[in-house]
Structure formats: C-alpha cells, structure tokens
Amino acid sequence: MAGRVLILDGFWNKALAAVRSLGERGLSVAVGAETRLAPAMFSRHCRRRFVYPSAAGRPADFLEALERELAGGGYDVLLPMELDTQLLVTGGRGRLAERVRIPFADAQRTLRVNDKGFLAGFAKEQGIDCPATFLPSGAEEATALAPALPYPVLVKPRHSSGGRGIVRVEAPGEFLAAYRAVDARYPLPIVQEGLPPGGEALGVAVLMNFASEPRAAFAYRRLREYPVSGGPSTLRESVRDPRLCEGAERLLAALGWTGVAMVEYKVDPRDGRPKLLEVNPRFWGSLHHAILCGVDFPFLLYRLAMEGDVARVDGYRVGVRSRSLLHGEVMHFLRNPHRLDLRPGLAAFSIPDDVLSARDPLPVLGRILSLVALARDPHLRAIARG
C-alpha cells in the first residue's frame, strides 16, 4: 500500500514541487491550503484537497481542523511548507504526533534558529564569517550606536524571510527614523552591515537526520531575485562548493537541527569570502531546483520520517538553471530599471520552471486563479509582494 502524505501550504510553489516529487514516486498525496485556488491542488498528483482556516490568523481553528483531517485521513507523514504553519504543527506535536510523523525540529529550536540576532552571535562563536551585527536593546541604545555604525547598514527584523521588513540606511541622519519604523512592526530589530554590491548571493539547502547529522546538501547561486534589491530567487543556478556546504552542515549540527533548512550567504567583494546572512529553518521557495538537480529533499524527508534515517546523498547536477516565471521573473522584470538588458529574457522557455510543466499543466491555471485569493487575503498579498 502506498504511503500517504499530507502537504500543507499548497498556495506556494515549493508545495507544488513536493507534491510532484512524492506523487511521481507513487505516494498518495493530499494537499492542504487556505484556499481552493492553491496551485498544488491543481496537480494531477493531488489525491485529496483540504481547506483549512488561516494558520497565521486563526491558529486554534487551524489546529482543530488539522486534527480532524488527520483523524480520518490515515496519513503517514505531515509536511508543512511555511514557517507559520510549521511552528503551529511542531508546537502542537503532542496532540498530533499520535496520528502522523512530523520530521521537523521542535518549535522552540526553530524560533531560536530563525532569530537573526541569536544566529549572528552563535555563528561568530563557531568561527563563521558574518557581516558586522549590532543588537540594540531599544531606540535609546540605537541612538547611541548611530554615529559609529559602518554605513550603509540594514535594519532587520529578527524573525522574517524573503527580505520582508528590512530597511537600508545610507547615513547616520536617516538611521533613527528607520530603526523606529522597523521596531514598531518588528520589536528589537538587529542592525547589520550592508555588504558592498558585486558579491554573489549563495544558498545551501541541507537535510539533517534526527541525530543532527548531515544527509544531503545542495548549493546554488541566485542570478536574479525579487525584490530586485534582494529576496527569494527568481532565476538560479546549481554550483559545486564543498567548503560552503561543509560550513552550513557544521553550523546546523552545532544548532542541533533536524529536518530541512536553507542557509543563505553573500560574498563580500572586499575579501572574496562568503558571509552568513541567515538560516531559514523550513522548506525554501526554489525547492524544485534541488529536485531537478538530483537532490529530492521532500522524498528524503519522507523516508527519514518513515525509516528513521537515510543514507547520505552526495553529488548533483551542476550548472543547471531553473526559474520562477509566475510571479517571480515577471515581477523582477517589471521592477528592474535595466529590464531590457536582462539575459536570459522572459521568453527563455527552455529553462525549467517552478510551475510550468507539460507533464502536469493544470497548476499554471491554479497560479493564475490564485490572483483571486491574493486580492482577498491581505496576509497572502503581503508575502507575495515581498
């Protein structure tokens, strides 16, 4: 009998990548989302659709609905794809674990890893290069710091992803207003040196087993992003970088991590060294790219949950590109002042896409219809805008 998996957060491309990965391997896949217009629900591999209340807006109702679904679904493994959902699921592990396997780190550890202030200090203790980072305890200490900061600096929320909430400050006179604006929405932000332009943006996706030992690592560089100034990749290319992968694995092992994570770096052009920016303790937006290159993280995580461990995966295809045309590349094109000079251009349909697929075409319709859900849901709209 085929294993049964419930994938949550079906609105996002990474959920679609997981549905296709597990469905093509013969597993029975159900998709949960806040809307029936979720692209992953349109996949030919989706065997059941489960619409639930907003995990961010109605967490108690979400957990109750999820419990009911698990009680009657006979699922083996539960895979939340977004951090809000993952935190609720792992925080409620006591009431859910009797019904399904949840191969993720606990909520407390996840929040600690997601805290950019904690991470910068921890990484420094581990001998890992980071941009200069400051942790003011409030506006008064931020005011005292302002004259001595290494401008430009970035005022960053401690808990955010995809560039959301980050404000760049070029000079001391702009700093306090920017700090207060971020602090009002995201209390006690960090202040971090803004690295000079020109260095590559790199990511390392990692899978750690239940003993915090690495089982897979995949490195890529971001060729284009949205927002254009920095955010999720819209065009990317796989690379071979053993030192970067080893550093990411060492950091996650020291953190006692379990499951998947994305470690993000930016090369400092002043010394050519990659500097750690953050760790996203969840599935990442360009998940399809790793699968395309031969590192099937969703299936490895499923096997880890079912079998207790998996053999180390070494090697993947290098120099492979993929992209996210809808809405990533389109939005990058519209916001980039040098849009007409972009190479490859929007019409480069030979590059594999996160959604477009001749073998599974209907999710494209779902992505187009999802604009209706974006118009109705301010939470989804804010995430999509970056």
CB 17 within 8 A of CB 287: yes
Q: 3-class SS at 84?
A: helix
Pairing relationship of beta strands 201-208 and 214-225 according to DSSP bridges: antiparallel
Burial class of residue 343, CB neighbours in 10 A (0-12, 13-18, 19+): exposed
Indicate the CATH number of 201-355 among 3.20.20.10, 3.90.1010.10, 3.30.390.30, 3.30.470.20.
3.30.470.20
Predicted local distance difference test score (pLDDT) of residue 375: 67
Q: Which of 159, 31, 19, 35 is nearest to 87 (CA)?
A: 159
- Which CATH architecture group holds 4-102? 3-Layer(aba) Sandwich (3.40)
Which homologous superfamily does the CATH classification assign to the domain defined by 132-193? ATP-grasp fold, A domain (3.30.1490.20)
CA gap 130, 225 in Å, rounded: 21
What is the pLDDT, as a whole number, of residue 92? 79
Q: Which helix (H) or strand (E) holds 112?
A: helix 107-114
**Spatial contact of 317 and 238, defined as CB atoms under 8 Å apart:** yes
Tokens of 354: 């996160």
Tens-of-pLDDT digits for all 386 residues of the chain?
589 999 999 999 999 999 999 999 999 999 999 999 999 999 999 999 999 999 988 999 999 999 999 999 899 999 999 999 999 999 977 789 889 999 999 999 999 999 999 999 999 999 999 999 999 999 999 999 999 999 999 999 999 876 788 999 999 999 999 999 999 999 999 999 999 999 999 999 999 999 999 999 999 999 999 888 778 899 999 999 999 999 999 999 999 999 999 999 999 999 999 999 999 999 999 999 999 999 999 999 999 999 999 999 999 999 999 999 987 999 898 999 999 889 999 989 999 999 999 999 999 999 988 877 666 766 666 555 54
Residue 162: per-residue pLDDT: 67
Task: Note the pLDDT of residue 231.
Answer: 81
Q: Where along the chain do the CATH 3.40.50.20 domains lie? A: 4-102
Q: Cα separation of 26 and 141, whole Å? A: 57
User: Alpha helices of 126-170 — where are they, by DSSP H?
Assistant: 139-145
**In this structure, what token pair is assigned to residue 355?**
């959604």
Ranges of CATH 3.30.1490.20 domains, the chain = 132-193
Could you give the residue range(s) of every CATH 3.30.470.20 domain in the chain?
201-355
273, two tokens: 């060294």
Residue 383: its pLDDT value, please? Answer: 56
Only one residue has tokens 């920017």, namely 178
Pairing status of strand 4-7 against strand 28-33:
parallel
pLDDT of residue 227: 85
d(CA 336, CA 343): 13
- What is the Cα–Cα distance from 155 to 139, expressed in whole angstroms? 12
Element (H, E) at 61: helix 59-73
Chain centroid, CA 229 distance in Å: 17
Token pair listed for 377: 């849901």
Whole-number Å distance between alpha carbons of 358 and 362: 9
Alpha carbon 9 to its chain's center: 12
